[in-house]
Amino acid sequence: MNARGQTIKRAVVGILAHVDSGKTTLIESMLFRTGAVRKLGSVDKGDSHLDFHELEQRRGITIYAKQALVQAEGAELMLLDTPGHVDFSSEAERTLQVLDFAVLVVDAGDGVRGHTETLWRLLERHGVPTIVFANKMDLAKRPRADVLEELRSRLSDACADFTDVRAAGEMPVEAAEACAETDEQALDEYLSDGTLSERTVRRLVGTRKAFPVLFGSALKQEGVDELLDVLSWLAPSPEGAQSGAFAARTFKVSHDPSGVRLTWLKVTSGCLKVKQVIEVPTDSGTVPEKVDQIRVYSGSKFESAPECSAGQICAVTGLSHACAGMDIGVRGTDVQGAPKPALVPTFACSVIPQGCDVQAVHAALDMLTDEDPLLNAKWNERLQELQVQVMGTIQLEVLQATLHDRFGLDVAFGPSGVLYRETIEEPVVGVGHFEPLRHYAEVHLLIEPLPAGSGVRYGTKCHTDELDLNWQRLVLTNAMEREHLGVLTGSPITDVRITLIGGRAHNKHTEGGDFRQATYRAIRQGLMQARSVLLEPWDDVSLHVPADQVGRAFSDLQRMGARCDAPLVMGDFALVRGVVPAKEIADYSMQLNSYTHGTGSMSLEFRGYEPCHDAEEVIAQAAYDPEADVANTPDSVFCSHGAGHAVKWDEVSGAAHVKPDASTFTPWREATPEFFGG
């Protein structure tokens, strides 16, 4: 509440845009118009208040999501500035899960670009109410009506001109009509009253049935006050949420200049206080952790706060297990789990230390992976090299500069390659046996294919009379503790279910490490028998091209191995949609820009992994020998005449000591934290 005892409305507002649409300039104007800053910053001059990192000032682009708090017309607005470049779109996507509203900035002159459409689909996927700000109207050589028509055709026909909505005190006829057409109940109200109530409009916007559109020029501060008015008007009251038990959604992890780990979160219910102990979920159950400090940031500066209430965003110290997209606090809240990222890296490359220790580089990359899990920095044992996953070349350049500036480490990068995956076509049983002298363990695992996008799931059907529960837990822990490689190219496996169906321990000689060896070998032995399938990343692609260039676009996609829908002609332009291998479309934007003379646009969104379109060529080029990969051997070790000896993978099933009996199997039980006693 404010000094008068009135409840202050709150909203977390993300500002998103295709690169160079004027997003950062708009935020600077919003900060200036609300009195949050006394002097306008500039991207060109490198003194914008939110792009304060040296890398951002050097490149003139937003790389890291940042926040600024402003007060506007009885509402507290936390503005989140997100990266506009596609290479850092995963950073932008992570912020979507904590937004109350999004402002999508569109360059009125350039119109809807490819990445604009990608951001629109992400906002839809995360259910974020969205306001569109048509920027640079002072430079656009077309009327407002044409801009609105393009927004309706490219984004949604529910885009409504909200010019003067707040200033008029009631809904103008055009805006009321546009909103009423989106909802049957609203239409009845409009036909009855000739307008729509504020409550109805808030409902339509909040449920993404209507999308307010405002026009202006951020550079000239035109339309900025109107945007702030609409956001303040739409901002919800946190009264109900403040009375509940504490719950929060994390969306980012970073480290301050001193190396202190910061967990960024939005409190969705109740109140978070300093020194409060909260439950943080992990793979093996929840872990209690104490909040040491609560920081409320605005730009590069922060203030320590004793508490953080529902609807507010803060950064806390003391949480070592929390990561982006995690719900923390009480169970049973109405906070839904975050969907899997739609934008994920599809390329990997090696990291080559330049005059520095590889272990120091690895440690630095581990810290950066903590901040961006999709970076997935890891040591490839087979190739004996550090690897990272990236979205594009600019991200690599920024990563190189970050390692130099933050850690004093110089690195180079090897050629980037596609991140392949492998799966299987039919179920298979893998057997692993590990019995050198005075050791013993045997494991039988059923490996079954799952639908695309399922990942790897683990569980058991083994009765405890056949293998004690503690040993079963150990087997599944061992199975889940690392990534398992396929036998075609040595790429990680996916879309399979691995089920424990049998095993044996020795009362005297079995140790924990024995089951690890048996489990690894069982998975590998099963994959050696299976009919494996090589998978590659595929993207959903949309090409918006001049109508006379649709033939070129269509034939290019077919040449890439894409599956395309029939082109949709819309006046002078045509829309071509399809599904295409990510590696084939990666560098196509330059060609598109060339043959359309800058009028064409392309949007990409990761679809998932599907069978590789040129599998034979990729497998031959990889020249991977699964039997020569000693770190992932499919062979087993049996004991004979007092000594252990290796048995080839294709002979292991016949030599196994256990014969699983399907009649003893229990219903499948997934390896969840509850299974492990969490």
Q: Rounded to an integer, what distance in angstroms lies between the CA atom of residue 403 and that of residue 256?
A: 15
Q: Which residue is associated with the tokens 């509440």?
A: 1
Q: Domain check: are 232 and 158 in the same one?
A: yes
Q: What is the pLDDT of residues 122-166, one digit of tens each?
A: 899 889 999 999 999 998 888 999 999 999 988 999 999 998 776
Q: How many CB atoms lie within 10 A of CB 48?
A: 24
CATH code (residue 383): 3.30.70.870
Does the pLDDT of residue 564 top 60, yes or no?
Answer: yes
Q: Domain check: are 52 and 185 in the same one?
A: yes
CATH code (residue 214): 3.40.50.300
Q: Rounded to an integer, what distance in angstroms lies between the CA atom of residue 121 and that of residue 156?
A: 11
pLDDT of residue 50: 60
Whether 500 and 475 have beta carbons less than 8 Å apart is answered as: yes
CA atoms within 13 A on the CB side of 399: 32
Helix (H, G, I), strand (E, B) or coil at 386: strand
Does the pLDDT of residue 470 top 90, yes or no?
Answer: yes
CATH code (residue 274): 2.40.30.10
Whether 347 and 338 have beta carbons less than 8 Å apart is answered as: no
Q: For the chain, what is the radius of gyration of the CA atoms? A: 28
Of the three residues 301, 329, 357, the one that is the final residue of a domain is 329
Two structure tokens written together for 71: 């007060």
Q: Rounded to an integer, what distance in angstroms lies between the CA atom of residue 203 and that of residue 226?
A: 20
Q: Domain check: are 218 and 278 in the same one?
A: no
Lowest mean pLDDT of 115-124, 420-429, 505-514, name the range: 115-124
Residue 487 forms part of a structural domain: no
Contacts of 639 (CB under 8 A, 6+ apart): 435, 436, 437, 440, 645
CATH code (residue 581): 3.30.70.240
Mean pLDDT of 15-36: 86
Q: Domain check: are 191 and 88 in the same one?
A: yes
Mean pLDDT of 15-23: 85
Residue 357 forms part of a structural domain: yes
Q: Rounded to an integer, what distance in angstroms lies between the CA atom of residue 578 and that of residue 582?
A: 12
Q: Domain check: are 69 and 190 in the same one?
A: yes
Q: Domain check: are 131 and 180 in the same one?
A: yes
Q: Output b/e per residue, 516-550; b: 16+ Cβ within 10 A.
A: bbbbbbbbbbbbbbbebbbbbbbbbbbbbbbeebb
Whether 655 and 647 have beta carbons less than 8 Å apart is answered as: yes
Q: Which residue is associated with the tokens 């770190």?
A: 631
pLDDT band at 517 (very low <50, low <70, confident <90, very high): very high
Of the three residues 237, 255, 280, the one that is the final residue of a domain is 237
C-alpha to C-alpha distances, 18 to 129, 176, 268, 342, 466, nearest whole angstrom = 18, 29, 29, 17, 59
Q: Rounded to an integer, what distance in angstroms lies between the CA atom of residue 172 and that of residue 363?
A: 59
pLDDT of residue 54: 61
pLDDT of residue 546: 92
Whether 393 and 331 have beta carbons less than 8 Å apart is answered as: no
pLDDT band at 49 (very low <50, low <70, confident <90, very high): low
Mean pLDDT of 33-50: 69
Q: Domain check: are 163 and 291 in the same one?
A: no
Q: Domain check: are 307 and 365 in the same one?
A: no
Residue 340 forms part of a structural domain: no
Residue 390 forms part of a structural domain: yes
Q: What is the pLDDT of residues 195-249, one digit of tens each?
A: 888 889 889 999 999 999 999 999 999 999 999 999 998 888 766 556 678 889 9
Residue 437 forms part of a structural domain: no
Q: What is the pLDDT of residues 276-328, one digit of tens each?
A: 998 888 766 778 899 999 999 887 788 899 999 888 899 999 998 888 888 88
Relative to beta strand 101-107, strand 130-135 is parallel
Long-range pairs for 35-40: beta carbons < 8 A, 24 or more residues apart = 35/71, 36/68, 36/69, 36/70, 36/71, 36/298
Q: Domain check: are 233 and 270 in the same one?
A: no
Q: What is the pLDDT of residues 652-669, one digit of tens each?
A: 999 999 999 999 999 999
Residue 654 forms part of a structural domain: no
Does the pLDDT of residue 11 top 70, yes or no?
Answer: yes
Task: Give the containing element (helix H, strand E) for 370.
Answer: helix 358-371
Domain hosting 571: range is 534-618
Q: Domain check: are 247 and 193 in the same one?
A: no
Of the three residues 377, 397, 419, the one that is the final residue of a domain is 419
Does the pLDDT of residue 678 top 70, yes or no?
Answer: no
What type of residue sits at position 554? F
Relative to beta strand 669-670, strand 456-460 is antiparallel
Q: Domain check: are 153 and 263 in the same one?
A: no
**Which of 119, 30, 21 shows the shortest CA–CA distance to 68?**
30
Whether 106 and 21 have beta carbons less than 8 Å apart is answered as: yes
Q: What is the pLDDT of residues 74-124, one digit of tens each?
A: 788 999 888 766 666 677 788 888 899 999 999 998 888 877 888 898 899
Q: Rounded to an integer, what distance in angstroms lies between the CA atom of residue 153 and that of residue 111?
A: 11
pLDDT band at 65 (very low <50, low <70, confident <90, very high): low
Q: How many CB atoms lie within 10 A of CB 109?
A: 16
Lowest mean pLDDT of 154-163, 429-438, 513-522, name the range: 154-163
Secondary structure of 418-435 in HEC code, one letter for each residue: ECCEEEECCCEEEEEEEC
Residue 655 has phi, psi (to 5 degrees) of: -95, -5
Q: What is the pLDDT of residues 362-405, one digit of tens each?
A: 999 998 888 888 888 888 777 788 888 887 777 888 888 889 98
Q: Domain check: are 55 and 110 in the same one?
A: yes
Mean pLDDT of the chain: 86
Q: Which residue is associated with the tokens 């007060």?
A: 71
Q: Which residue is associated with the tokens 């490198």?
A: 46
Percent helix, strand, coil in the chain, to 5, is 30, 30, 40
Q: Rounded to an integer, what distance in angstroms lies between the CA atom of residue 610 and that of residue 102?
A: 32
What type of residue sits at position 581? P
Task: Give the containing element (helix H, strand E) for 390.
Answer: strand 385-390
pLDDT band at 332 (very low <50, low <70, confident <90, very high): very low
Whether 97 and 122 have beta carbons less than 8 Å apart is answered as: no
Q: Where are the beta strands (DSSP E) in 210-361?
A: 211-215, 247-255, 261-269, 271-273, 277-282, 285-290, 293-298, 301-305, 307-309, 313-317, 327-329, 347-353
Residue 661 forms part of a structural domain: no
Task: Give the containing element (helix H, strand E) for 590.
Answer: helix 588-595
Using alpha carbons only, what angle is made at residue 393 by residues 389 and 396, rounded to the nearest 5 degrees? 55
Residue 180 has phi, psi (to 5 degrees) of: -65, -30
Q: Rounded to an integer, what distance in angstroms lies between the CA atom of residue 541 and that of residue 539?
A: 6
pLDDT of residue 3: 44
Residue 440 forms part of a structural domain: no
Q: 393-407 and 358-371 helices cross at what angle (nearest 10)? A: 110
Mean pLDDT of 417-429: 94
Q: What is the pLDDT of residues 600-627, one digit of tens each?
A: 888 877 888 999 999 999 999 999 999 9
pLDDT band at 46 (very low <50, low <70, confident <90, very high): low
pLDDT of residue 299: 76
Number of domains in the chain: 4
